[in-house]
Structure 1
Amino acid sequence: MSKKIIVIGAGPGGLAASMLLAHKGYDVHVYEKQSFIGGRTSHLQLGDYRFDVGPTFLNMTYLAEEMFALTGRNIHDYVKLMNLDPMYELVYKDKRIKITRNPEEMIRQINELFPGNYGSYERYLLETHKKLETLAPLLQSDMTGYRSLMTPKAMKALKELEIGNSLMDTLGKFFKEEELRLAFTFQSKYLGMSPWESPGAFSILSYIEHAYGVYHIEGGLNQLTKAMAKVAEEEGAVITTGNGVKRIVTEGRVVKGVELESGEVVYADDVVINGDFASVMTKLVEPGLLKKYSPEKLAKKSYSCSGVLLYLGVNKKFDLPHHTIWFAEDYRKNVAQITNTLELSEDPSIYIQNACVSDPTLAPEGKSTLYVLAPVPNNFSNIDWNSCRDEYRDMLLGLVSEKLGIDDINDYIEESHMITPADFEVDYEVYKGAIFNLGHQLRQMMAFRPNNKFEELDHCYLVGGGTHPGSGLPIIIESARITANLILKRDKQTPYDVQPLPPYELYKGQPKDEKSSNVAAIQMKPATSI
């Protein structure tokens, strides 16, 4: 008789774990509180307009491809991946740069907009490639317990962690101007952190984009979680929506099952938690049972920022790339207000996704979906979103109008919806509205992050942004493989393989002069695309 596993939450981590475990013969049951699957990687339908609720950037597509391949499937039979190039546009006060995977075009733009950085992009690619090669095995391995930090691969990676260097420090080795460094450090927003505080090791985030690209999925990234749910069910997993977990049933420190909101108690051999880590630990675990991650200690941890999201269905097409980011005039002050002083900025940075420029399936002909995000403090700030909600919405819409060069975006809005940090906490069970989970300071990474095999409860495992390797859609999917392999190894089953990084060639020489840089030698092979 196969072992029974309960998965709490049908987000991407829980669905990926369900795929992998069901494929190995486990009796998998997923319980989701919401009436839909995907969590924040779900969709929002406003009339004829369709939006992704949360993630809109998809990179490291090779990880998603691997997860499907491990179950004997081809991801391209389930979703249509669309390679975006340019990947996105960055807008400063007096200049803009289109970020592309074409190295010659990147170098041309850098030399034109930021003279004096000759050869910097090539060096960045070469050196960060080596860093990724060293760090990738660490990020794809079990880091349970402090002894995992003593392994040869962990010791080898120690130098690349750049302890004591911020992300800005690290990129300063390559690029002179702060504005140029922002093009390679703003990705710390994927972790909900400031580039002046994010560890230098995360220079791999921007490199991964330049090496492997940024993708969209036709219909939105929500289609990926739907595809994973379909595979899980094809493998025999049972997914129940609209009946979440009320509490985790324990005997001492041994997890025995769950009590559902319906009152039913379901027993299992193991429970895999995909819910927001701090939220689950404070709400679903018996009070007094946890020591290391008690509610009091969780409140003292560092957490990521939050965000205000506007979803606008507009009866107009805009000459705007798929992804555009406008930096605040004083970006450093802006991120300090978000992460340190915990106040709303009068000069916020904003991101707009104009997905219909690539994917017309999301809106009626001649119309557009605009997804607007402004990073803001999490709910440790005590900002009263009930009282300032309308004022902040009006301010954001004014900024959108200004950025798009129109008088008033309200003239074109047919459908709209807004999500604030308060909404994330209440409607999506996100602890303190911290949408990127626990912070990614080194003291909260690897073995110092809640372990995939949860150290405080037996027969309890974690997936998602609150465990190793961390936050971000592809990384969350990787957490599912790590966790599935821990269960498989315990049960003496063959674990899933981890593939090496996809191959590509990098520029090997050094530029001879400004007229002859040999940049044509930089050839990057993208992950499989259609």
Structure 2
Amino acid sequence: MLTQGQSLSHVTAGDPRPQALVIGSGFGGLAAAVRLGARGYRVTVLEKLDAPGGRAYVHKQDGFTFDAGPTVITAPFLFEELWALCGKKLADDVDLRPVAPFYRVRFDDGTVFDYSGDAEAMRAEVAKLSPGDVAGYERFLAASEAIYKVGFEQLGHVSFERWTDMAKVLPDLLKLEGYRTVYGLASKHVKDEKLRVVLTFQSLLVGGNPFSTTSVYCLIAFLERRFGVHFAMGGTGALVRGLVGLIEGQGGRVLCGQGVEEILVDEGAACGVRLQTGQQLRADVVVSNADSAWTYKHLLPGRLRRRWTDKRIAKARYSMSLFVWYFGTRRQYRDVAHHTISLGPRYEGLLDDIFTNKHLADDFSLYLHRPTATDPSLAPPGCDTFYVLAPVPHLDAGVDWALRAEPYRAAIAKRLSETLLPGLEQEVVSSLMLTPQDFQDRLSSYKGAAFALEPVLTQSAWFRPHNRSEEVERLYLVGAGTHPGAGLPGVLSSARVLDSIVPHARDLPRPHQPLAEEGFAHVRTA
């Protein structure tokens, strides 16, 4: 893996394979690179940060290892498929461990619900919370399975390139009540308000408000039940390192410290990129794992865009952002689960403030991640590693995070000290924050939205930016902002879509000479 300052202008001697450039090294970009490499391309991944991973960047500080982003790993078969494409086994490189319970949900009044994949244990938890809702819970889970079989198994890796593709699935979506919201479908089956929260908070993990997100995302409940929730020993970064190893094993290259300034186009086709250094790199195929709105607004000139104009991008609805506090403690909190959802006094009202009113409220609900519950090596001996995130409005809220970040962090610390982590404020020995402003400035997320476009029905499938760009040929999109959407299964599935829309390297029309050779650097990838 090359880092900033190392030369890019080397020729790959004797390598006749077509060149594919991938912008961004998030999970979508790394998965796309593996799939393109398996289909005969010479692949170069360009990452503007100093290490790969994108939102899955790893921070190491004071002896603690902090996974910056994705920590809930479901559908491990999507990773196994990538390793299989390289003739390897995931287990040879990454040790995935099941997490139980999946989530410990703590309500504001102290009520606790352990959400797991154990059918009997779940029925007991539901009965403890609301005895009259056990049968309704079973009906909800059956509905989730039916949605999963259509929404994930049949459509998750299909490219919605024509409106007729959407029309074909509308009868199924109507039959499965895809017109309902996540909360609406749960409310159809269960009456208890707390249980409705337990069955709907997962949509927030993919950037969706359960009161407006299409009920298609209720498939998450069955997905988790079927495949479990896992954690990679060594942290989520172990998966990033494993994928980089696969790419390099294919003769590809991951280049860090190489931000892309513009996607170059010749005669209506993407033909390379210009880096922020001014250097131009040539390609036969370009794949953007950057945020889709950012890709179109900042990387593709406006004169080339007919559908994703600046006006349309600005008018679209975007997910919430996140405030994330990473911290290490000098002591361990052994009774805290790996994943805890700590709910505040409001549910719908808080979500209205975040998604609709764009108001940073004084109260909050939190996701607390304690990876040392599964892997103690992520902290010094006798210590714990944590991160806590709070859903917050994206940058349209006008919050000055340079001023508000520390008071907001202190309020969260006080809340955790009063509930889950007694004495926390005196135990913290390492601290780091990520704000919505960082999502925009560091991670190139439009408006600082943590999950790209909001997953409402009118921004799903065909209505999302397509995996094959509608604007120029030979440009493809992967990641949270395209189909099927956010979350690890979503971004990995977006890379699966490429198998059906990017020609195999042997079938790519050659030679492709988009630009003159002068001033144009070839990238050494082997």
- Normalising to structure 2: TM-score of the pair? 0.90
Q: 1:421–1:433: 8 Å Cα contact kept in structure 2?
A: yes
How big is the alpha-carbon RMSD for the aligned residues of Structure 1 and Structure 2?
1.6
Report the Cα offset of residue 205 of structure 1: 1.2
Alpha-carbon distance between aligned partners in 2 of 1:244 and 1:399, rounded to the nearest angstrom: 39
User: Aligned match of 1:138 in 145, 148, 155?
Assistant: 155
1:69-468 correspondence to structure 2 within 5 Å: 69-94=84-109, 95-136=111-152, 137-151=154-168, 154-155=169-170, 157-160=172-175, 162-318=177-333, 319-404=335-420, 406-407=422-423, 409-468=424-483
- Is the contact between residue 17 and residue 40 of structure 2 (CA under 8 Å) also seen in structure 1? yes
Is 1:162–1:199's contact at 8 Å kept on the other side of the alignment?
Answer: no
Cα deviation, residue 492, structure 1: 4.7
Report the equivalent of 1:524: none
Distance 1:334 1:355 in 2: 27
Which residue does 1:503 correspond to in 2?
Answer: none
The Cα shift of 1:131 comes to: 2.1
Q: Report if the CA contact (8 A) 1:64-1:474 is conserved.
A: no
Shift of 1:484: 3.4
1:35-46 equivalences in 2 (<5 Å)? 35-46=50-61
Partner of 1:527: none
> Which AA in structure 2 matches 1:226?
R
Gaps of at least 5 residues in structure 2 are: 1-15, 509-526
- 1:512 is matched with none
SS at match of 2:503: helix
Asked if structure 2 preserves the Cα contact closer than 8 Å seen for 1:135 and 1:160, the reply is no
* Secondary structure of the corresponding residue to residue 117 of structure 1: helix
Question: CA separation of 1:329/1:425 partners in 2, compared to 1, >3 Å: closer, same or farther?
Answer: same
Alpha-carbon separation, structure 2, partners of 1:225 and 1:297: 34
The change in CA–CA distance for 1:86 and 1:271 in structure 2 (over 3 A counts) is: same
Which residue type is aligned with residue 126 of structure 1? A
Identity %: 32
CA distance in 2, matches of 1:118, 1:468: 34
Q: Which amino acid aligns with 2:163?
A: Y
Helix, strand or coil: the match of 1:351?
Answer: strand
> Post-superposition shift, 1:150?
3.7
Q: Is the 8 A contact 1:50 1:362 kept in 2?
A: yes
- Contact 1:160–1:201 under 8 Å retained in 2: no
Kindly tell me: are residues 19 and 150 of structure 1, through their superposed partners in 2, closer, same or farther at Cα, counting changes over 3 Å?
same
Structure-1 separation of matches of 2:319 and 2:421: 32
Counterpart contact for 1:312–1:413, Cα < 8 Å: yes
Query: Partner of 1:40: helix, strand, or coil?
Result: helix
**TM-score w.r.t. length of structure 1:** 0.89
What is the count of residue pairs matched by the alignment? 490
- The change in CA–CA distance for 1:248 and 1:161 in structure 2 (over 3 A counts) is farther
> Aligned pair 1:24/2:24, yes or no?
no
- Classify the secondary structure of the residue corresponding to 2:55: coil
C-alpha displacement of 1:420: 0.6
Whether contact under 8 Å (2:144, 2:221) holds in the other structure is: no
Aligned residue for 1:506? none
Rounded to whole Å, the distance in 1 between the matches of 2:421 and 2:166 is: 52
Q: In the alignment, which residue of structure 1 is the partner of 2:77?
A: 62
> Relative to structure 1, is the Cα distance of residues 118 and 23 closer, same or farther in structure 2, using a 3 angstrom cutoff?
closer
Question: How far apart, in 2, do the equivalents of 1:16 and 1:482 lie?
Answer: 11
